[in-house]
């Protein structure tokens, strides 16, 4: 992902203002690292079918990372998870203040759609991509999931409702990343299949995070762990052993589906997905 990291650096907002920390805060969270999992999924799909479109697709990958980063900043706020650590570094509201963190999150959210609107594709493709990101990142996607998560923080849900929570909060943006890659290369039918795969992948991703919350230190995870006792996590509700079984079942289903992808797609996505599908087993 080195080229993508350079793309981030080359395309960060550079407007100047009289605010002493606004630009610095905008930059810090974006270049603080992270897995870049969602951009990698999108670029993997694009490279499978039309490598000549990779440069243009970086705009789309960047937009997804902008939206994801905004969600992390807001997720860490005192009113939500009140987390002091993200991507191995102090969170923005700790380094600066809560107002700065809220506004930086707002800025990255809206900037993601500005980036998409300027992507070098047809108007139809740009609008389709914008709609996909908004649908999965907005009121019927990630934001809905976060609302459910916060509202029921001290009220245990049944496990099927928890799956609904995390399908919205985590899985839909991962699924959208795969589908948007297919949209870029004009394979919208494939996009629906990849979206369904991505929902399962995103749910596994969240189950794994719940496992890592109780099995890794904050230093290993790069964020605060051991912090889910009052949350509707899989481990809190059904215990570590049953959560591992849930993860293993999903991982096995995803591995089978991945192996049934066409050869180019499987070859491009396998190195990334095999690592993440099995990360709870390491």
| pLDDT band, residue 23 (cuts 50/70/90) | confident
pLDDT for the residue numbered 14 = 60
Q: Determine which of 70-79, 124-133, 219-228 has the lowest per-residue pLDDT on average.
A: 219-228
pLDDT for the residue numbered 253 = 97
Alpha-carbon distance of 209 to 202, in angstroms, equals 11
Alpha-carbon distance of 197 to 171, in angstroms, equals 10
| pLDDT band, residue 13 (cuts 50/70/90) | low
| pLDDT band, residue 215 (cuts 50/70/90) | confident
| CA R_g for the chain | 18
pLDDT at 186 over 70: yes
Which whole number is the average pLDDT over 70-93?
A: 91
| pLDDT band, residue 73 (cuts 50/70/90) | very high
Kindly state the percentage of the chain with pLDDT values over 70. 90
Residues 6+ apart with CB under 8 A from 24: none
Q: What is the pLDDT of residues 92-141, one digit of tens each?
A: 999 999 999 999 999 999 999 999 999 999 999 999 999 999 999 999 99
Alpha-carbon distance of 273 to 270, in angstroms, equals 5
| pLDDT band, residue 26 (cuts 50/70/90) | confident
pLDDT for the residue numbered 227 = 59
pLDDT for the residue numbered 15 = 65
pLDDT at 179 over 90: yes
Torsion of CA 87, 88, 92, 97, to 10 degrees: 150
Domains of the chain: 2-281 (1.10.600.10)
Q: Determine which of 22-26, 59-63, 203-207, 275-279 has the lowest per-residue pLDDT on average.
A: 22-26
pLDDT at 32 over 80: no
Q: What is the pLDDT of residues 138-153, one digit of tens each?
A: 999 999 999 999 999 8
CB atoms within 10 A of CB 217: 9
pLDDT for the residue numbered 64 = 97
pLDDT at 222 over 90: no
Which whole number is the average pLDDT over 185-196?
A: 96
pLDDT for the residue numbered 118 = 94
pLDDT for the residue numbered 30 = 78
Q: Give residue 227's Cα distance to chain centre.
A: 20
pLDDT at 162 over 90: yes
| pLDDT band, residue 4 (cuts 50/70/90) | low
H-only helix segments in 76-187: 92-95, 98-117, 123-137, 142-151, 159-166, 172-184
């Amino acid at each position: 992902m080195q080229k993508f990291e350079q793309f981030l650096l080359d395309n960060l907002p550079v407007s100047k203002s009289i605010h002493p920390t606004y630009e610095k805060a905008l930059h810090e969270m974006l270049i603080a690292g992270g897995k870049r999992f969602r951009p990698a999924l999108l670029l993997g799909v694009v490279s499978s079918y039309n490598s000549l479109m990779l440069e243009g697709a970086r705009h789309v990958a960047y937009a997804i990372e902008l939206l994801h980063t905004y969600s992390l900043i807001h997720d860490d706020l005192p009113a939500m998870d009140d987390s002091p650590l993200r991507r191995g570094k102090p969170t923005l509201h700790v380094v600066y203040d809560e107002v700065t963190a809220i506004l930086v999150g707002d800025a990255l959210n809206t900037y993601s759609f500005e980036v998409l609107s300027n992507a070098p594709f047809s108007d139809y493709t740009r609008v389709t991509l914008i709609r996909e990101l908004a649908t999965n990142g907005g009121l019927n996607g990630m934001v809905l999931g976060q609302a459910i998560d916060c509202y029921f923080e001290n009220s245990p849900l049944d496990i099927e409702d928890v799956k609904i929570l995390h399908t919205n909060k985590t899985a839909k943006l991962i699924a959208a990343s795969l589908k948007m890659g297919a949209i870029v290369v004009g394979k919208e039918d494939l996009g629906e299949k990849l979206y369904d795969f991505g929902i399962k992948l995103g749910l596994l991703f969240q189950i794994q995070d719940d496992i890592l919350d109780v099995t890794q230190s904050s230093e290993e995870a790069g964020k605060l762990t051991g912090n889910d006792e009052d949350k509707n996590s899989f481990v809190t509700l059904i215990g570590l052993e049953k959560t591992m079984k849930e993860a293993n079942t999903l991982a096995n289903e995803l591995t089978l589906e991945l192996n049934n992808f066409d050869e180019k797609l499987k070859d491009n996505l396998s190195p990334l997905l095999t690592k993440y599908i099995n990360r709870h087993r390491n």
